[in-house]
A and B are shown apart, each in its own frame.
Chain A
Amino acid sequence: MSIVEIRNLSYSYPGLNKPALTNVDLTIAKGDFIILTGPSGCGKTTLCRCLNGLIPHFYSGDLKGDVIVTGLSVKDNPTSKIAQHVGFVFQNPENQLFALSVEKDIAFGLENLALPRDEIRKRVDRALDIMGITNLRENAPYELSGGQQQRVAIACILSMNPELMILDEPTSFLDPVAARNLFEIIYIFNKELELTIILVEHRLDLLCTYANRVIIMDKGKVKADGIPRDILSSKEVLSLGIGIPKVTRLYNELRASGIHLGDPPISVNEIAQEIRKLILND
């Protein structure tokens, strides 16, 4: 079953004559874990803004084509309605946290939905628990570390019970260990809560083992779409200047020198196994 249907979508920001998106067609299945990547300025963030209705309800400009998310046409439904189905986590958690305690920040979205008090309490507790931040309940978001803030931001979104979660470079401000932990939590959402994930990211080395699909954009168009292993080793993608993991690049370099190592690797373990096989001849 598809959760997103995009048909012939084009969009230009007001005042810019260059379109940000040109004739995008895309279907996303329920349960997909998608990495959305591409060169700086390629239209990734713009595409995400079309999925939660920020375009066209917040950004004006020229929108053509159809965007249907969880069965709702984004053009014909207000963002408040779409927000109940689509959660959006921004790059910098500072930009979305504002309350004086973590608990109040999580409750804010739920209060706006006018949910009963007990239901709000239940959902806040659950989101705190899933994100492992129950101990931060009373803390002010601004006194937390970047990694903790990003967990709070995700808890806010999670409490709304979205079907689709979009994360725009959520680990930019995190150290590598915190980034990896966050990807693991998102992966668990994807598997256990059957939450569809669209994750915008440049650093693919930490991420590509979690996703089942990579979509690469360039100049407002979808340039490649498929499973990470195939996409990351394709020549066309290399020429776009995507941040291919080092082990995949090493595989490509060795192949160019006449050394063939089985299927393209997307992790250190995979290429280590292949090299061992080659050297030990088994």
Chain B
Amino acid sequence: MIEFKNVSFTYPSGAEALKEINVKIKDPDFIAIIGENGAGKTTFIKHLNGILKPTRGEIYINGLNTKKASVAELSRDVGIVFQNPDHQLFCETVEEEIAFGLKNFGFNKDIISERVTWALNLLDLTKYRKVSPFMLSGGERKRVALATILAWDPKILVLDEPTIGQDFNQKDKLRQFIIQLTSQGRTVIMVTHDVEFVADCNPKIIVMSHSRIITTGSAREVLTNFDILSKASVIPPQITQLFSQLSDLDLPQNIIDLYEAKQLIIDLTKRRLDNESL
């Protein structure tokens, strides 16, 4: 479980990036954090494995106060995949890159080999096993970064902008994989600007703006709240925008899902046909 108790954080430059954050995230859960550039999202997740420690307040990760634990200790439970893969890749081959974290945690050779093969396969990277990460495309490097963290199977997986450079199929695989992880008891927290991906994933949402959490709720509640979204520089999902434009046709206003939208429009056309035949 993750617990933030009245957490504030000020960078040495004086910028206050988190203000009075109070939040509890229980295991397992799937959370998306959305908000404008500079809202404090990345600062928030850097507190989860102790890279940053609160200026005021306390954070507990599975009961451990992050001020009293090392980044190495916290990382065993909290794996963070950063936004820019180039900030975390450095080995000669994709295979070594994935093995690196496992070696540091002291896993034995057989387990390392097994986990590396598993992660390569999962992220469609087996053909690049012996290739330098720097020869790969942006989207592929992003998947290598994800594989390095997944390999040690952290209880809490944190993804900063996981859909950048990913095509539709890769995004859909990522979505299915996240759902599989949560069904195995893992907690997944993602920071994203990709509101259509959020609508497809249907997680709980934390909205941040100007260093504060301004609301939390289900995807359906938050993504259909135009006032809150506009405060956080988020454009509502296309489906939600469409139903808002068609509000006079007696359609519900809390729709985010493509297939739900399709069924409602089919029902509406049937009703019209029934009315005509009366």
Contact = CB atoms under 8 A, between A and B. Distances in A.
A272 B38 CA distance: 34
Max count, chain B CB within 10 A of own CB: residue among A94, A259, A271: A271
Nearest to B143: A40
B249 A279 contact: yes
Nearest to B200: A246
Contact of B167 (A177, A242, A250): A242
Interface of A: 13, 15-16, 38-41, 45, 91-92, 94, 143, 145-147, 169, 172-180, 202-203, 205-206, 241-247, 249-250, 253-254, 257, 259, 268-269, 271-272, 275-276, 278-279, 281
B136 interface: yes
B166 A249 contact: no
Interface string B102-121: 00000000000000000000
- Chain B's interface size range is 35 or more
B10 to A, nearest CB: 16
B170 interface: yes
Nearest to A244: B168
B242 A247 contact: yes
Contact of A169 (B138, B199, B241, B262): B138
B262 A38 contact: no
B41 to A, nearest CB: 10
Interface of B: 13, 35-38, 83-84, 86, 131, 135-140, 143, 161, 164-171, 193-196, 199, 232-235, 237-239, 241-242, 245-246, 249, 258-259, 261-262, 265-266, 268-269, 272
Nearest to A259: B269
Contacts of A257: 262, 266
B238 A174 contact: no
Contacts of A91: 138, 164-165
B228 to A, nearest CB: 14
Nearest to A241: B169
Chain B interface, DSSP helix/strand/loop, else mixed: helix
B272 to A, nearest CB: 6
Given A41-B140, A249-B258, A281-B272, A172 B161 contact: yes
A157 B111 CA distance: 49
Contacts of A92: 84, 86
A95 to B, nearest CB: 8
A145 B138 contact: no
Given A13-B135, A145-B38, A246 B235 contact: no
A250 B239 CA distance: 9
Max count, chain B CB within 10 A of own CB: residue among A94, A177, A206, A247: A177
Contact of A278 (B37, B165, B170, B269): B269
A177 B235 contact: yes
A268 B169 contact: no
A269 B242 CA distance: 8
Contacts of A177: 36, 233-235
B233 A176 contact: yes
A249 B242 CA distance: 13
